[in-house]
Amino acid sequence: MPATGLSERAPKLDRRSVVRALLADRGELLVIAGLGAPAWDATDAGDHALTFPLWGAMGGATAIGLGLALAQPDRRVLVLTGDGEMLMGMGSLATAGVQRPHNLAVVVLDNEHYGETGMQSSHTASGIDLAAVARACGFVSSAIITKIDQVAALRADIHGAEGPLLAQIKIAADKLPLVLPPRDGTHLKNRFREALLGPKAHVQR
Ligand SMILES: Cc1ncc(C[n+]2csc(CCOP(=O)(O)OP(=O)(O)O)c2C)c(N)n1
């Protein structure tokens, strides 16, 4: 069956504008940012103690967000990741569909390429529909987003709608200036735990 052609028809959004809009007035939202450009986008929107940017662990962002959402049912959790990263961790959508955390949102910034390693085409360029995969895995809602005026409603859903939900946002495959988060993994872990747990972050188990 030929590809849907969606990738040719759809307008492509500016990733930094999308992420800035999604993270505006983020409040207590917990954010896991997938490695590479999504982590740079999250940092461009403002380095934040309640963002855990991944420097590796490709394929692990949704699994980490799922664990966090289950451990913190009173907090909203956003996984912000790339299509390549999500494709590598696609099995975690099935686990999220089984666990059904009401507070988990996954946003895939879909540039249809593996940007970090030389812009090789990813499967979504051939029409692979991650929103449909999420639906088939039992996500409460999922959508492909192609217009900037859909982003405000998505932001509201991230903060309040019943999850798990997934949005696949079609973005331009631009190489943008790097905006890097801190590099030290221990620092990132500790500042995230302290911002989330307060003094309990230091209690030894
Ligand atoms: C297991 C593993 N394989 C490959 C890589 C190399 N790698 C780092 S980022 C990346 C591409 C990420 O693509 P995507 O998630 O679509 O993000 P984009 O930069 O395109 O927005 C790859 C292949 C890696 N870090 N780890």
- pLDDT tens for each residue of 21-62: 999 999 999 999 999 999 999 999 999 999 999 999 999 999
Q: What percent of the chain has a predicted confidence (pLDDT) above 70?
A: 94
* φ and ψ of 63, to 5 deg: -65, -40
What per-residue confidence (pLDDT) applies to 122? 98
The CA distance from 162 to 104, in Å, is 8
- Give the CA dihedral 141, 145, 147, 149, nearest 10 degrees: 30
For residue 35, what is the DSSP state?
T
**CA of 59, closest atom in ligand 1:** 1
Ligand 1 atom with the smallest distance to the CA of 115 is 20
Report how far residue 133's alpha carbon sits from residue 192's, in angstroms, rounded to the nearest whole number: 30
pLDDT at 2: 39
Q: How far apart are CA 203 and CA 191, in angstroms?
A: 15
CA of 17 to the centre of ligand 1 (A): 21
List ligand 1's pocket residues with C-beta within 6 A: 34-38, 56, 58, 82-85, 109, 111, 113-117, 122
Note the pLDDT of residue 202: 86
Phi/psi for 80 (5° steps) reads -115, 110
In angstroms, the Cα distances linking 172 to 30, 121, 137, 182 are 26, 13, 27, 26
Q: What is the pTM of this model?
A: 0.95
> In whole angstroms, how large is the CA radius of gyration of the chain?
16
Q: Which of 19, 37, 105, 39 is nearest to 68 (CA)?
A: 105
Which atom of ligand 1 is nearest to 85's Cα? Answer: 15
Q: Pick the residue whose CA is nearest to atom 13 on ligand 1.
A: 114
- Residue 175 reports pLDDT greater than 50: yes
Is residue 155 scored above 60 in pLDDT?
yes
- Amino acid at residue number 172: A
Query: From the CA of 85, how far away is ligand 1's center (Å)?
Result: 6
Please give the average per-residue pLDDT across 140-146, as a whole number.
98
Closest CA to 149 of 9, 16, 13: 13
Give dist(CA 55, CA 60) in Å, integer. 11
CB 77 within 8 A of CB 104: yes
Residues in the chain: 205
Average pLDDT over the chain, rounded to whole? Answer: 95
Predicted local confidence at residue 3, as pLDDT:
42
Query: Is the pLDDT reported for residue 138 higher than 50?
Result: yes
> Above 60 in pLDDT, residue 157?
yes
Confidence grade of residue 204 (pLDDT, cut at 50, 70, 90): confident
Model confidence at 9: pLDDT above 70: no
Q: Report pLDDT digits (tens) over 48-102.
A: 999 999 999 999 999 999 999 999 999 999 999 999 999 999 999 999 999 999 9
